[in-house]
Amino acid sequence: MNKVMSNKWMIAFYIMPALLMVAFLIFIPLGLSAYYGLMEWDGIGAMEFIGMENYITAIQDAAFWDSALHSFLLAVFSTLSLIVYLAISMILASKIKGADILRKIYLIPMLLSSVAIAQLWIKVFNPANGMLNRALMWLGVENPPAWLANPDIVLYAIFVPILWQYAGFYILIYYAALKNIPESLIEAAKIDGATPIQIAYRIKLPLIKGIVKVTVVLAIVGSLKYFDLIYVMTNGGPNGASEVMASYMYKLAFSTNEFGYGSAIGFLLLIITLIVTVIVRKLTEDKENIQY
Amino acid sequence: MKKKAFSLLVLLFSVSMILAACSGGSGDGEASNGDDKVIDFMHLWPEGSSAEHNRIVQEIVDDYESENEGVSVNIEVLSNEQYKDKIKVLSTSDELPDVGMTWPAGYLEPYVEAEKFAPLDDTLEGEFGDSFVAGTTSAYEVDGSTYGLPLELNVATVFYNQAIFDEYGLEKPETYEEFQNVVDTLKENDVAPIALGNKDRWTGSMWYMYMADRIGGTDLLTEAINQDTSFEDPALIEAADKTQQLAQSDAFVNGFNGLSDQEAKSMFMNEQAAMYLIATWDLPNYTTNEDVPQEFRDSVGYFKFPTVNGEGDRESFVGGPGVGLFVAENSDVKEESKDFVKFFAEQWGEKSVTEAGVIPATKVDAESLDLPQMYVDVLDDLNNATNLTLFADVQMSPEAAEVHLSQIQALFGGNVTPKEFAEAHQEALSQE
């Protein structure tokens, strides 16, 4: 076996299937979308080469930057929500009663498909019959807001199910990481007289720092390219108030038949996400690597 | 030895993966047996959501196959949105089905310009062409040739709940003042006057279109869309203003800009709102659909959009043909396909109205068929109609339609002034 694996040709051969798949499914379409971005194309007829015009239009397109702003807001909120998830995981990991069942409950939203979640929350947010407004009216609120219709609040309303959807995922990751911390370290700290807060902040957090970094990148990248719930629940409306980059791209390519422009936006989305990822990695970089 | 066998196995596995990945694209459309000619036919009525439509299609296809030895029809069904996406992708790779469904005007044009659809002028010659209701085939016309055979005809009317109207002593309004009075009375009694799901935006567009039709006359909006006149016409601005005032006066259900048409419909059908402007594709819900309580169906009536400022022609309708059949230009069974779409459109007429409650685009004799009264009334109205204005978002090119639809949502939400609304339209339309 070792002999086989030391043969360079063999290594190349084994990598081939995965490489081909990644190339065909990801890299080639990526290149194509950058290429389509250079075209004036309705997605049906003939293409016409127009150089960088689509990219220039995109950079001057206020609607695109609005959608980008909304995507970044989502990224900020998802990153902040990680703090809450981390706190929940710490509580769950500290051997409280029913931790196991709670952990499973938190995971449920992850098991639902996005469209099902969207339908569920459309019903929750329904201005007249929704669970939320019924509850508010019962509590005596006279005119509860129309959550998905008011341009000022629709974006924040729709963030709630998006964050809720991924809570279980991050809690699961943090929980697993926290469970990996050797019990002896915690006990040593206790013997030295550390309070639970100190243990959490000085021992547990540094030890799972690597994982936290990964989740921050995941949350930011996931937010920037987010699409599903927005598409189903508001389709970017009303009047673009909940548009994000990915839904704007979809709208251009498939509703308005501006396939070339949509591709350009798609490619910009990739570049923005790449830049942000690099920045985040740089900011969270540190040479110290704690081992246990 | 064992290790060798293992690596061999891994090798075999990876090779088979590559082969599997490469063989995906080819091999479709060859499911025929022998020398049969196969017409690939894609439609958008899945069994689940459109059971009757689906059954009628199957019946017609079966009839066609039994009448035409050696020709078989291969059906593929997708739901509406998936259908639109798939057709687009297929046309990019020149793999359109031989026969499929299209929408008129703005949707159709890019396909015609790219020469993806075949002209059907020779099919429409003679008696067959005359069997369509006037103005329906012309919606599928580009540069003098017709590229689709319309199947449905939908006109928008205001449906209302007679039981709620009776409770407050209201009557069908004929003028806008009467209409306003109905709205005010309902509001005073804490009944939501009008169900509107403006997340979908074409729903609000119909309100604006009727305002424009009544205030500016039957041809003004179409002329503005074709840029024969400016969209900044005072009448079109006034129509926007009236629409906005209506929206701002709580005439529509709370949060209408965030509701889908489905949700608005369910509010109307659960008697939470008294009126609902929708096209005649909804007729089965108010007549024959057994899933809807009989009591509700009996209490629903409809009225034609009222006159505004004492002006306007109440016999002028907003509407248009829905889906139609196209034949692909690069089809290798083009003649058979043309024959099939003709057969289909002929059979569809009576079958669709009696069995699925569709108002077909071909003329039907309402008297000779056993139809609910509301159908007879609608067919009657259509016979007396003076004008049919095609849905604005259908008339416009996709780019302009997107501007129109988002402006509609903004107008209803009070985010733009009527003047800005008209300016945005003018800018989008003049760019074409």
Q: Which two tokens stand for residue B171?
A: 């009557």
Minimal Cα–Cα distance from B383 to chain A, Å?
34
* Cβ contact A256–B399 (<8 Å): yes
Express each pLDDT in B63-102 by its tens digit: 999 998 889 999 999 988 889 888 988 988 889 999 999 9
Task: Please work out, in degrees rounded to the nearest 5, the angle formed at the alpha carbon of residue B224 by the alpha carbons of B223 and B226.
Answer: 65
Percent of chain A with pLDDT over 90: 54
- CATH number for the segment(s) B37-152+322-364: 3.40.190.10
B396 touches chain A (CB under 8 A): no
Measure Cα distances from B425 to A58, B41, B396, B400 in Å.
21, 37, 11, 8
Minimal Cα–Cα distance from B133 to chain A, Å?
29
B110 touches chain A (CB under 8 A): yes
B422: exposed, middle or buried (C-beta count within 10 Å: 0-12, 13-18, 19+)? buried
- Nearest-angstrom CA–CA distance, B165 and B185: 10
- Nearest-angstrom CA–CA distance, A291 and B310: 84
A17 touches chain B (CB under 8 A): yes
Chain A, nearest residue to B272 by Cα = A128
Using alpha carbons, select from B75, B76, B78 the residue that is nearest to residue B48: B78
Contact B114, A259 (CB under 8 A): no
* Cβ contact A146–B257 (<8 Å): yes
Same fold, B37-152+322-364 and B156-319+391-430: yes
Q: Which residues of B touch A229 (CB under 8 A)?
A: none
Minimal Cα–Cα distance from B248 to chain A, Å?
13
B280 touches chain A (CB under 8 A): no
Minimal Cα–Cα distance from A79 to chain B, Å?
27
Report the pLDDT averaged over residues A239-252: 92
* Cβ contact B409–A238 (<8 Å): yes
CA dihedral B146, B150, B153, B156 (to 10 degrees): -60
- Nearest-angstrom CA–CA distance, B203 and B206: 6
B178 contacts: CB under 8 Å, gap ≥ 6: B171, B306
Q: Which two tokens stand for residue B116?
A: 């993806």
Q: Looking at this protein, which amino acid is placed at residue A203?
A: I
Q: B234 preceded by cis ω (within 30°)? A: no
pLDDT of residue B16: 58
* Cβ contact A151–B7 (<8 Å): no
Q: Which residues of A touch B17 (CB under 8 A)?
A: 17, 21
B248-274 burial: b if 16+ Cβ within 10 Å, else e:
eeebbbbbbbbbbbebbbbbbbeebbb
Is residue A221 in some structural domain?
Answer: yes
- Nearest-angstrom CA–CA distance, B79 and B349: 22
Report the pLDDT averaged over residues A22-40: 91
Chain A, nearest residue to B19 by Cα = A17
Contact A208, A181 (CB under 8 A): yes
Q: Which residues of A touch B110 (CB under 8 A)?
A: 42-45, 257
- Nearest-angstrom CA–CA distance, B175 and A263: 49
* Cβ contact B258–A146 (<8 Å): yes
Q: Which residues of chain B have pLDDT under 50?
A: 1, 22-32
Chain B, nearest residue to A42 by Cα = B110
Report the pLDDT averaged over residues A72-96: 92
Contact B71, B336 (CB under 8 A): yes
Q: Which residues of B touch A126 (CB under 8 A)?
A: 255, 259, 263
- Nearest-angstrom CA–CA distance, A241 and A235: 10
Using alpha carbons, select from B88, B273, B332, B388 the residue that is nearest to residue A43: B88
Using alpha carbons, select from B136, B151, B117, B137 the residue that is nearest to residue B43: B151
> DSSP label at B356?
I
B92 touches chain A (CB under 8 A): yes
Minimal Cα–Cα distance from A48 to chain B, Å?
13
Q: What is the DSSP string of B27-83?
A: -TT----TT-EEEEEEES--TTT-HHHHHHHHHHHHHHHHHSTTEEEEEEE--HHHH
Minimal Cα–Cα distance from B421 to chain A, Å?
13
- Nearest-angstrom CA–CA distance, A20 and A16: 6
* Cβ contact A44–B116 (<8 Å): yes
Q: ipTM surpassing 0.85, yes or no?
A: no
Radius of gyration (C-alpha) of chain B in whole angstroms: 25
Minimal Cα–Cα distance from A179 to chain B, Å?
36
Banded pLDDT at A290 (limits 50, 70, 90) = low
- Nearest-angstrom CA–CA distance, B96 and B117: 9
Secondary structure in 3-state letters for chain A: CHHHHHCHHHHHHHHHHHHHHHHHHHHHHHHHHHHHCCEECCCCCCCEECCCHHHHHHHCCHHHHHHHHHHHHHHHHHHHHHHHHHHHHHHHHCCCCCHHHHHHHHHHHHHCCHHHHHHHHHHHHCCCCCHHHHHHHHCCCCCCCCCCCCCCCHHHHHHHHHHHHHHHHHHHHHHHHHHCCCHHHHHHHHHCCCCHHHHHHHHHHHHCHHHHHHHHHHHHHHHHCCCHHHHHHCCCCCCCCCCCHHHHHHHHHHHCCCHHHHHHHHHHHHHHHHHHHHHHHHHCCCCCCCCC
- Nearest-angstrom CA–CA distance, A189 and B208: 71
User: Which residue range is the domain that position A207 belongs to?
Assistant: 37-283
Is residue A30 in some structural domain?
Answer: no
Of B91, B267, B406, the CB nearest to A44: B91
* Cβ contact B254–A235 (<8 Å): no
B247 contacts: CB under 8 Å, gap ≥ 6: B204, B256, B411, B412, B413, B414
* Cβ contact A149–B84 (<8 Å): no
Q: Which residues of A touch B111 (CB under 8 A)?
A: 44
Using alpha carbons, select from B74, B92, B81, B73 the residue that is nearest to residue B44: B81
Is residue A229 in some structural domain?
Answer: yes
- Nearest-angstrom CA–CA distance, A207 and A212: 10
Minimal Cα–Cα distance from A111 to chain B, Å?
24
- Nearest-angstrom CA–CA distance, B154 and B388: 10
B91 touches chain A (CB under 8 A): yes
B253 touches chain A (CB under 8 A): yes
* Cβ contact B263–A21 (<8 Å): no
Q: Which residues of B touch A16 (CB under 8 A)?
A: 14, 18
* Cβ contact A42–B254 (<8 Å): no
A42 touches chain B (CB under 8 A): yes
pLDDT of residue A249: 93
Express each pLDDT in A141-176 by its tens digit: 888 888 998 889 999 999 999 999 999 999 999 999
Rounded to the nearest integer, the mean pLDDT of chain A is: 89
A7-31 burial: b if 16+ Cβ within 10 Å, else e:
eeeeeeebeebeeeeeeeeeeeeee
Contact B208, B239 (CB under 8 A): yes
pLDDT of residue B358: 86
Of B21, B88, B402, the CB nearest to A44: B88
A245 touches chain B (CB under 8 A): no
Give me the number of domains chain A comprises: 1
Helix (H, G, I), strand (E, B) or coil at B135: coil
Chain B, nearest residue to A44 by Cα = B92
A222 touches chain B (CB under 8 A): no
A237 touches chain B (CB under 8 A): yes
Using alpha carbons, select from B388, B365, B131, B405 the residue that is nearest to residue B279: B388
Q: Which residues of A touch B326 (CB under 8 A)?
A: none
Q: Which two tokens stand for residue A112?
A: 């639902």
Helix (H, G, I), strand (E, B) or coil at B155: strand
Backbone angles phi, psi at B191, to 5 degrees: -105, 130
Contact A195, A247 (CB under 8 A): no
A61 touches chain B (CB under 8 A): no
Q: How far does chain B reach from its first CA to its final CA, in angstroms?
A: 73
* Cβ contact B402–A251 (<8 Å): yes
Domain containing residue A88: CATH number: 1.10.3720.10
Contact A166, A78 (CB under 8 A): yes
Is residue A213 in some structural domain?
Answer: yes
- Nearest-angstrom CA–CA distance, B337 and B152: 20
B372 touches chain A (CB under 8 A): no
- Ordered by start, the domain boundaries in chain B are 37-152+322-364, 156-319+391-430
Token pair 């479709």 is found at B28
- CATH number for the segment(s) B156-319+391-430: 3.40.190.10
A235 touches chain B (CB under 8 A): yes
A106 touches chain B (CB under 8 A): no
Report the pLDDT averaged over residues A11-23: 92
* Cβ contact A237–B17 (<8 Å): no
> DSSP label at B146?
E
